[in-house]
Amino acid sequence: MGHNVLLVDDSSTMRKIVGRSLRQAGLDFDNIFEAADGLLALEVLEKESVDIVLSDINMPNMDGIAFLREKANRANMKDIPVFMISTETGEDIIGEAKALGAKGAIKKPFTPDMVNEILGPFLK
Amino acid sequence: MNIGQDIIGATTDIFSTMLMMDLGVGDPLEGAGGEVLSNITSMLGLGGDIRGMLAVHCPAAVAMAITSGFLGMDVDELNEDVKDAIGEIANMVAGNLKVAFAGYDMKIELAIPSSVVGESFRVAGMQGARRVAVPFDMEGGQFLVELKYIVNS
């Protein structure tokens, strides 16, 4: 059975690239939802059944850290796993993301193999 | 501190990893010079221990080739996808430079990239800033990655 994934990035190009990388990595998703910032991601999570979230950090309106903080406060979505996918890979910011519940991080630039290495075990 | 080499490392890594493309690398330029005829420039501001701007300047053919490589489809106009793709290049280069600056014991913050499209324009500003620019060659022409910055005292 496949999964539903939510891609959160203010760059529509990057959302397409990540979606393509997921397919090239052979990861099986029934639906790929997209959101351009944290606020829109919360709206998707309120409406759709999502198994995993891949989120950028630097975004307008609501960034990835604020998104994690807000999501953690909502009982209906707090347990949905989030992986950060970002150029921001400093220990301080990734540490903050993990403290707010992020399961891991994928550094941009990335290959489909790198995506599979991090997400694959989690989706098995 | 070798910012030119940091720009080269960041940019070639992005292109080899995400576009499977080996770039030709020109000599880093300090100060003036090396301008390319740009039809699209994506830039983002840098703050923290420095204040500055990272910019990627591309002729149309190069910008469309990069976007085609990213999306796996033909792109034949300077549309929103192209602005977005070159903005992502700028974002990823800046993200790598953030790590490089951390190695020089300087903490920097990144803004959100923005893109300008036009026929003939020049990006100016930041009097007194140090400028490092590196030209890169790929199919379709040459593009320039430029960093201007002032270290905050």
Which of B42, B91, B98, B105 is most worth mutating to test chain A (most A CB atoms within 10 A of its CB)? B91
Partners of residue B81 in chain A, C-beta under 8 Å: 12-13
Q: Which amino acid is at B10?
A: A
User: Looking at residue B139, what is its pLDDT?
Assistant: 86
Which residues of chain B approach chain A closer than 8 Å at the C-beta? 13-14, 17-18, 67, 70-72, 80-81, 84-85, 87-88, 91-92, 94-96, 98-99, 102, 110, 112
- Domain ranges for chain A, please list them: 3-123
How many CA atoms are closer than 13 Å to the CA of B70, on its beta-carbon side?
A: 27
Task: Specify the long-range contacts of residues B102-109, CB closer than 8 Å, at least 24 apart.
Answer: B102/A90, B104/B1, B106/B48, B106/B49, B106/B50, B106/B151, B107/B48, B107/B49, B108/B46, B108/B47, B108/B48, B108/B49, B108/B50, B109/B46, B109/B47, B109/B48
Do B110 and A90 lie within an 8 Å CB cutoff?
Answer: no
Give the homologous superfamily in CATH for domain A3-123. Answer: Response regulator (3.40.50.2300)
Q: Which residue has the higher pLDDT, B6 or A123?
A: B6
* CA distance linking residue B132 with residue B54, whole number of Å: 10
CATH of B3-151, one of 3.40.1550.10, 3.55.10.10, 1.10.40.30, 3.40.50.720: 3.40.1550.10
> What spatial distance separates the first Cα and last Cα of chain B, rounded to whole Å?
17
* Grouped pLDDT means (10 residues each) for chain A, 124 residues: 88 91 87 96 96 93 96 94 87 88 91 89 76
Reduced 3-state DSSP string for A40-108: HHHHHHHHCCCCEEEECCCCCCCCHHHHHHHHHCCCCCCCCCEEEEECCCCHHHHHHHHHCCCCEEEEC
Do A87 and B72 lie within an 8 Å CB cutoff?
Answer: no
Minimum Cα–Cα distance from A108: chain B residue: B92
CA dihedral A21, A27, A29, A32 (to 10 degrees): -20
How many CA atoms are closer than 13 Å to the CA of A2, on its beta-carbon side?
A: 11
pTM score, two decimals? 0.89
Give me the residue label for tokens 């923290």: B48
**Rounded mean pLDDT of B136-140?**
92
Minimum Cα–Cα distance from A114: chain B residue: B17
Q: Decide if the complex's ipTM is over 0.85.
A: no
Which of B49, B82, B92, B97 is most worth mutating to test chain A (most A CB atoms within 10 A of its CB)? B92
Partner residues linked to B55 by β-bridges: B43, B146
Do A89 and B94 lie within an 8 Å CB cutoff?
Answer: no
The region of weakest confidence among B20-34, B62-76, B85-99 is B20-34
Residue in B13, B81, B110 nearest the CB of A13: B81
Q: Given a cut of 80, is residue B3 above it in pLDDT?
A: yes
**Rounded mean pLDDT of B130-146?**
93
Residue in B14, B72, B84 nearest the CB of A20: B72
> Residue A17 is encoded by which pair of tokens?
């690239």
- Which range among A64-68, A106-110, B111-115, B122-126 has the greatest average pLDDT? A64-68
- Domain ranges for chain B, please list them: 3-151
Task: Tell me the pLDDT band of B34, cut-offs 50, 70 and 90.
Answer: low
Partners of residue A13 in chain B, C-beta under 8 Å: 67, 70-71, 81, 84-85, 88
Pairing relation of β-strands A29-35 and A3-8?
A: parallel
Residue A49 near chain B (CB below 8 Å)? no
SS3 A25: coil
Minimum Cα–Cα distance from B107: chain A residue: A90
